[in-house]
Amino acid sequence: MARVHANKEMPHLFAGLIALGVAGTILFAAGMAVIHLERSTIPSTAPDLFLLKNQGVAFQRAAAHAPNVLPIYGSSELLVPAAPERGNIFFRTAPTGFQLSPVGGGGTTPLIMSQKVAALSSDLRGKELAISLSPGWFFAAKPGWRGYTGNFSLMAASEMAFGTALDFELKRDIASRMLECPSTLEKSPLLEFALRRLASGRLVDRTIFCVLWPLGKAQTALLELQDHRAALNHIRREIKPAPQRHPEVLDWPKLIARVEATKTTDWAKVSKASGLNVQITPGSRDVAFRNGVKASASWADLELLLRTLERVHARPLILSMPIAGDFYDHAGVSRSAREEYYTKLRALVQRYHFAVVEFEEHDEDPAFLIRHQSHLTAKGWAYYDRALDDFFHGRMPRS
Amino acid sequence: MSWLEKHPAVHRVLLILYYFAIIVALILMYGRGDFSTQPFVYQGF
């Protein structure tokens, strides 16, 4: 009776509500279908690295759901070299039963990774994943924000802020760091306002945040919708055929020996080109180096990442490329000074009871890194691959 | 009395379709996300 009355008295409201209900049902069904598509095409998308995978969450979520995919979060080292040993290429055909799904781009930082991990939240519960660290992040007291702004994802940041995976204390600490780079928040005044409330930590601000929360969730839902739509377009237009699975029994010592024999370093060429033939007194820059390692803000960011991983109950392997010891020897930074980095990293990660491999024994191996950058050579990747394979199969990861 | 007023069922259906079209238009306009990042050229290679 009431329905008939409403229908007659308020025909526009009635029609609007019906249309909204129909649209909502269609959107929900379409969303489910796209999620199914994202998951069923994961063998094709997992090994690739593309903008939407980095900036959205849909493909990362699909990778987190796939039992035979190991996500790896890192930065520029995931993009080079174009050698068959590079992780995502090496594991493309799942030779040992899993594919590697890289996420990250040049200049990605631990703070960016924290937001991505927080965005995935419950999807990472019990999930194995790898984090690749660049030692260079931890040498400068105040690393720049350019890499952060270039990799910032509004989607991941909103999911972190308005999601329920993290507690207020962790959100407060992440928000405080994010607010140090306000240019990334210009596009979303709501997110900036919410982060300011979170960062303050005061009861009144938390209350305002809770009042705002439904609006934030609505914004996140809209972003998710856009993410799924973009994912659908990517699957329709840009997806490659899924690689054929090719199980193999890998002989790691043989594989590494082969890579060592065929790949030579260009260290000599580079050292000349960079003017490193100038003699610098060994150890003369140890104090400056140690001060940089001691004061670097990246340690706090790494701790935020570790806290986030712990909070979402993920099972991470923390990998760190070694320092280019040969380069630093020439630059006046001794091995004992460099040891500070390895020791501090191990101590921090072990506090969270996560597996860590820092490849310290390759510190002075000029064939492990491309020039003196935090980019692995084919040999470096072969060692990374072995550690990842060990980890995925429940063995102690070797360095 | 107009034709629509004589056919209330058709009127209701048309109204629903009208609002549905508005919702679809809004989705088409705002459903395309902006996944671009701030200009940044990584110079570490």
Pairing outcome for strands A128-133 and A315-320: parallel
Amino acid at A309: L
Please give the average per-residue pLDDT across A229-250, as a whole number: 90
Residue A3, pLDDT above cutoff 70: no
Please give the average per-residue pLDDT across A145-165, as a whole number: 94
> Which residue do the tokens 């039992």 mark?
A67
B33 with A223: Cβ contact below 8 A: yes
As a whole number of angstroms, the distance between CA A101 and CA A48 comes to 7
DSSP conformation letters of A140-209: -SS--SHHHHHH--HHHHHHHHHSSSS-HHHHHHHHHHHTT-GGGGTT-HHHHHHHHHHHH--HHHHHHH
pLDDT tens-digit readout, A56-78: 999 999 999 999 999 999 999 99
What percentage of chain A has pLDDT greater than the value 70? Answer: 93
Amino acid at A100: L
Amino acid at A86: R
Residue A271, pLDDT above cutoff 50: no
Residue A34, pLDDT above cutoff 80: yes
Cβ–Cβ under 8 Å, residues A318 and A131: yes
What percentage of chain A has pLDDT greater than the value 90? Answer: 80
pLDDT at position B29 is 83
pLDDT at position A267 is 45
pLDDT at position B33 is 79
Distance from CA of A393 to the nearest CA of B (A): 33
Please give the average per-residue pLDDT across A359-365, as a whole number: 94
- Give the angle subtended at the CA of A339 by the CAs of A336 and A341, to the nearest 5°: 140
As a whole number of angstroms, the distance between CA A390 and CA A376 comes to 19
Look over chain B and give the mean of its residue pLDDT values, rounded to a whole number: 83
pLDDT tens-digit readout, A309-323: 999 999 999 999 999
Q: Is B18's Cβ below 8 Å from some Cβ in A?
A: yes
Q: Is B24's Cβ below 8 Å from some Cβ in A?
A: yes
ipTM of the complex: 0.80
pLDDT at position A8 is 65
Question: Could you tell me the two tokens for A232?
Answer: 């659908």
Which residue in A56, A107, A226 is closest to B31 by CB distance?
A: A226
Chains A, B: CB pairs < 8 Å: 93
Lowest-confidence range among A197-211, A234-248, A300-314, A379-393?
A: A234-248
Nearest chain B residue (CA) to A370: B45
DSSP conformation letters of A209-230: HHHHHHHHHHHHHHHHHHHHHH
Q: Is A18's Cβ below 8 Å from some Cβ in B?
A: yes
A23 with B27: Cβ contact below 8 A: yes
Phi then psi for A310, rounded to 5 degrees? -65, -40
Lowest-confidence range among A86-100, A144-158, A177-191, A277-291?
A: A277-291
Phi then psi for A320, rounded to 5 degrees? -130, 130
- Give the angle subtended at the CA of A251 by the CAs of A247 and A254, to the nearest 5°: 140
CB burial class (10 A; 0-12, 13-18, 19+) of residue A227? buried
As a whole number of angstroms, the distance between CA A20 and CA A264 comes to 64
Distance from CA of A201 to the nearest CA of B (A): 29
Question: Could you tell me the two tokens for A34?
Answer: 């796209």
pLDDT at position A278 is 63
pLDDT at position A268 is 43
Distance from CA of A15 to the nearest CA of B (A): 4
Nearest chain B residue (CA) to A80: B45
Q: Is A140's Cβ below 8 Å from some Cβ in B?
A: no
B19 with A184: Cβ contact below 8 A: no
Question: Could you tell me the two tokens for A233?
Answer: 């377009």
Q: Is B31's Cβ below 8 Å from some Cβ in A?
A: yes
B19 with A375: Cβ contact below 8 A: no
Q: Is B20's Cβ below 8 Å from some Cβ in A?
A: yes
Residues in B touching A374 (Cβ below 8 Å): 44
Beta-carbon contacts of residue A218 (< 8 Å; ≥ 6 apart)? none
Amino acid at A246: H
Q: Is B42's Cβ below 8 Å from some Cβ in A?
A: yes
Which residue in B11, B20, B37 is closest to A151 by CB distance?
A: B37
Does residue A89 or residue B3 have the better pLDDT?
A89
Which residue in B11, B35, B40 is closest to A146 by CB distance?
A: B40
Q: Is B5's Cβ below 8 Å from some Cβ in A?
A: no
Cβ–Cβ under 8 Å, residues A365 and A359: no
pLDDT at position A277 is 59
3-state helix, strand, coil in chain A (%, to 5): 60, 5, 35
pLDDT at position A270 is 45
CB burial class (10 A; 0-12, 13-18, 19+) of residue A312? buried
The residues in A 207-226 lying below 8 A from B, measured between CB atoms, are: 222-223, 225-226
A150 with B18: Cβ contact below 8 A: no
Cβ–Cβ under 8 Å, residues A129 and A71: yes
Cβ–Cβ under 8 Å, residues A164 and A121: yes
Does residue A330 or residue A278 have the better pLDDT?
A330
The pTM for the full model equals 0.90
Distance from CA of A19 to the nearest CA of B (A): 5
Beta-carbon contacts of residue A247 (< 8 Å; ≥ 6 apart)? A94, A95, A96, A97
Residue of A277, A294, A300, A276 whose CA lies nearest to A337: A294
- Give the angle subtended at the CA of A53 by the CAs of A51 and A57, to the nearest 5°: 130
Which residue in A19, A76, A226 is closest to B20 by CB distance?
A: A19
Q: Cα-atom radius of gyration of chain B, to the nearest Å?
A: 23
pLDDT tens-digit readout, B1-41: 788 788 888 999 999 999 999 999 988 888 887 888 777 66
Look over chain A and give the mean of its residue pLDDT values, rounded to a whole number: 91
As a whole number of angstroms, the distance between CA A386 and CA A255 comes to 10
As a whole number of angstroms, the distance between CA A392 and CA A295 comes to 34
Question: Could you tell me the two tokens for A44?
Answer: 């094709």
Span between the terminal Cα atoms of chain A, in Å: 74
The residues in A 46-65 lying below 8 A from B, measured between CB atoms, are: 51-52, 55-56
